[in-house]
């Protein structure tokens, strides 16, 4: 495997060219879609083709450049790269000309910021952000592989002459035709590079390169017929889409694999080598969202031989990317469950397990037809998308509910800075009931969420006006039919996703207030506020009292579970009442990445006993260390969250010791544990397999544990690469 990794073409370095900037400036005055598309095409045209010494799958991303466009930020200017180039003696006059041009009202995020300021919807980052990433999406790879570039062109040309041939649609369609040329040009560039290398190579490598040249020439216009052809066109589309989400890989490629197997044109080991190349390339590009298994459009089990092959490669390579997930249901074969658990127990933290009935049910509740809901995939960490038919933001923005709670405790004032960040909701010391305080919290949360969603809509609007996601509109229904880009109403489904942080910290805090302050009167709210102001210093007895007497989420305590369900249900329902610019409504999303640390650092002490700056919970599970009644109780609590209201995705991090996979019997028990959670309506489980002792030793001797991979908050990473705060949070979860 290492020999194949060494033979993969490395990522290209900065080539001292700025073709995107040059083309964008050259075409100033043309329609924004045309201007953006020509700049995009120029950036690829002037990027060299690189082919590794042994790779069978070819293609590398564009070099990093000062000016470019990304799927999440639109038109960007890399100030760090610019400063480094000027510092190292680059042509500063030419670079300054580029800087001056793009700093003057072109950079997407600056335009968004200016409009947010104009409309007065700015928000302190500690409370949340809108827009946020706004990038992940799963394009229609199947359509491209079915029609080929020539078939796409024919569809666009037919639409231009159909009901959408009004003049205001023409720039959009012309842009899509330019992007078809872009795909063709990239294929032909690599065909020529492979031909050149084949002419000087020897032995079997010459034949391999000649075959690569043939494949690239064919797929430059025509639909692929064989497995290698389909995988190569898929990879080129993936690169042109900014190397984001891989989609349902086993389903996309299976018919090509099966056909080649039947014809004797490929063997399983040969297909595996191609997937090894793909995995290493996806590791280079930090790829998200390889989704396996699941259901077909008619509800049958969709797993196939490529499902097992992908799990096999994942287990053997043990990479942090691509992020692999497996969709499961009652139709999933026992063999596949065991293969997945074998892969997980290898220590790579993959695949994440996704419960089809729960996720499809959430989509149905959002009004999406079942035939489309069954074809969902993953964008980013776990942000669910309908393959080739949805633009759900992935994610649009985020909210820190724990900060909203802090503001309710301080009449809208930040406990860390003393600055007013939210509206005045009253002095809690004067509140006479828990309901009065809960109402103040809800006002803070709704105020923040409203501003976040308005900011998200501004981001969608500006990115649509600029044509920031024009390539994605080429391969997303119904953009061609409607004559609209995917951010401006072209996507068949245009909902939005708001990443929701702090549900459990808020629930545990509200339990402390309800039961110890207002009902049992074990302390006054004034005393509690004083303890929070002092960050619990000098109030340890009160803190321990809360820890021992207040209900805690994660223990199947109906009081805490109902509180958490109420907190989540309130904000999820509030999201759904608000419309996106792209033509849908917002929905909840619970995946943290590393925001449990970032938002935790920006949040003061909370009534649950958490100190200022401590992490928030890392998933829909309990705050680290607070579940003391075993995994079954913890899973029951997590399943009580109304996950049907959160079609964006709800992740649960689960820690299991290696012992749980030490025999067939133990593995079956682990499978039964996950199935029990899924049977209660849980959407998604990510499993870390590691002993607490191993984690402790890894913190002491990181050089000996560089191989140790853990699930963090929606993604996998090497444990020794995480900062101390996240390591301690994961260790605390492991110890319990």
What is the SS3 assignment for 69? strand
* pLDDT of the residue at 243: 85
Angle at 594 between CA 139 and CA 408, to 5 degrees: 110
Domain boundaries for CATH 3.20.70.20 within the chain: 397-689
* pLDDT of the residue at 734: 57
Question: What's the rounded Cα separation, in Å, for the pair 656 and 670?
Answer: 8
First CA to last CA distance, the chain: 36
pTM strictly above 0.85: yes
* pLDDT of the residue at 546: 96
Question: What's the rounded Cα separation, in Å, for the pair 596 and 617?
Answer: 6
Question: What's the rounded Cα separation, in Å, for the pair 721 and 734?
Answer: 18
Question: What's the rounded Cα separation, in Å, for the pair 44 and 47?
Answer: 5
Classify strands 288-293 and 684-689 as parallel, antiparallel or unpaired: unpaired
The ranges of the chain with pLDDT < 70 are 1, 163-167, 691-692, 703-718, 726, 728-736
Q: Could you count the other beta carbons within 10 Å of the beta carbon of residue 183?
A: 24
Each residue's pLDDT tens digit, 135-193:
999 999 999 999 999 999 999 999 998 866 656 789 999 999 999 999 999 999 999 99
CATH number of the domain at 397-689, out of 3.90.950.10, 3.10.105.10, 3.60.15.10, 3.20.70.20?
A: 3.20.70.20
* pLDDT of the residue at 660: 87
CB 708 within 8 A of CB 690: yes
* pLDDT of the residue at 714: 60
Q: Token match 């309130």: residue? A: 570
CB 5 within 8 A of CB 283: no
Question: What's the rounded Cα separation, in Å, for the pair 248 and 354?
Answer: 13
CB 631 within 8 A of CB 367: no
């Amino acid at each position: 495997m290492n020999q194949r990794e060494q033979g993969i073409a490395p990522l290209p370095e900065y080539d001292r060219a700025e073709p995107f900037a040059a083309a964008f400036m050259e075409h100033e005055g043309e329609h924004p879609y045309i201007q953006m598309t020509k700049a995009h095409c120029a950036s690829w045209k002037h990027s060299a083709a690189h082919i590794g010494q042994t790779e069978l799958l070819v293609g590398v991303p564009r070099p990093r450049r000062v000016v470019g466009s990304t799927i999440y930020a639109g038109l960007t200017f890399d100030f760090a790269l610019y400063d480094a180039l000027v510092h190292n003696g680059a042509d500063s006059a030419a670079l300054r000309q580029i800087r001056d041009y793009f700093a003057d009202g072109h950079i997407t995020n600056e335009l968004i910021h200016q409009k947010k300021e104009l409309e007065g919807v700015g928000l302190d980052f500690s409370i949340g952000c809108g827009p946020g990433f706004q990038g992940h999406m799963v394009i229609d790879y199947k359509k491209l592989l079915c029609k080929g570039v020539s078939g796409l062109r024919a569809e666009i040309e037919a639409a231009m002459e159909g009901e959408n041939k009004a003049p205001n649609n023409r720039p959009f369609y012309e842009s899509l035709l330019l992007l078809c040329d872009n795909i063709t040009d990239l294929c032909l560039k690599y065909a020529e590079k492979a031909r050149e290398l084949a002419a000087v190579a020897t032995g079997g490598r010459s034949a391999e390169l000649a075959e690569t040249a043939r494949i690239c020439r064919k797929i430059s216009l025509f639909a692929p017929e064989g497995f290698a052809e389909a995988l190569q066109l898929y990879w080129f589309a993936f690169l042109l889409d900014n190397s984001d989400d891989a989609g349902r890989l086993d389903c996309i490629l299976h018919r090509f694999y099966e056909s080649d197997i039947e014809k004797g044109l490929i063997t399983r080991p040969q297909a595996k080598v191609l997937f090894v190349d793909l995995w290493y390339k996806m590791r280079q590009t930090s790829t998200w969202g390889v989704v396996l298994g699941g259901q077909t459009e008619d509800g049958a089990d969709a797993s196939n031989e490529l499902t097992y092959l992908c799990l096999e490669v994942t287990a053997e390579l043990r990479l942090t990317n691509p992020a692999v997930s497996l969709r499961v249901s009652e139709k999933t074969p026992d063999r596949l469950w065991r293969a997945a658990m074998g892969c997980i127990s290898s220590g790579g933290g993959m695949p994440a397990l996704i419960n089809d009935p729960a996720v499809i049910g959430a989509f149905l509740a959002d009004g999406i037809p079942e035939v489309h809901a069954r074809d969902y995939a993953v964008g980013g960490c776990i942000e669910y998308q309908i393959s080739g038919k949805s633009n759900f933001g992935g994610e649009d923005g985020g909210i820190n509910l724990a900060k909203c709670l802090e503001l309710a405790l301080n009449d809208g004032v930040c406990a860390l800075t003393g600055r007013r960040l939210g509206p005045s909701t009253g002095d809690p010391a004067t509140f006479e009931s828990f309901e009065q305080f809960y109402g103040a919290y809800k006002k803070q949360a709704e105020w923040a969420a409203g501003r976040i969603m308005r900011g998200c809509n501004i981001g969608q609007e500006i990115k649509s006006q600029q044509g920031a996601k024009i390539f994605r509109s080429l391969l997303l229904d119904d953009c061609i039919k409607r004559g609209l880009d995917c951010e401006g109403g072209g996507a068949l489904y245009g909902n939005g996703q708001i990443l929701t942080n702090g549900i459990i910290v808020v629930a545990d805090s509200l339990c402390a207030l309800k039961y110890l302050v207002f009902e049992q009167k074990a302390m006054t709210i004034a005393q509690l506020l004083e303890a929070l102001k002092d960050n619990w210093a000098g109030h340890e007895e009160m803190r321990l009292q809360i820890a021992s007497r207040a209900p805690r989420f994660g223990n199947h305590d109906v009081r805490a579970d109902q509180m958490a369900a109420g907190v989540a249900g309130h904000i999820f329902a509030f999201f759904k009442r608000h419309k996106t610019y792209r033509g849908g409504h917002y929905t909840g999303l619970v995946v943290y990445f590393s925001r449990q640390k970032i938002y935790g650092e920006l949040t003061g002490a909370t009534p649950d006993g958490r100190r200022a700056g401590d992490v928030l919970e890392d998933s829909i599970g309990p705050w680290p260390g607070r579940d003391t009644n075993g995994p079954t109780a913890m899973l029951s609590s997590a399943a009580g969250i109304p996950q049907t209201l959160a079609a964006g995705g709800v992740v649960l991090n689960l820690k299991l010791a290696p012992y749980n996979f030490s025999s067939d019997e133990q593995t079956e028990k682990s499978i039964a544990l996950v199935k029990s959670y899924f049977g209660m309506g849980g959407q998604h489980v990510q499993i870390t397999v590691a002993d607490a002792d191993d984690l402790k030793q890894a913190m002491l001797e990181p050089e000996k544990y560089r191989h140790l991979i853990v699930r963090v908050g929606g993604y996998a990473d090497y444990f020794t690469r995480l900062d101390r705060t996240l390591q301690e949070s994961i260790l605390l979860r492991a110890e319990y």
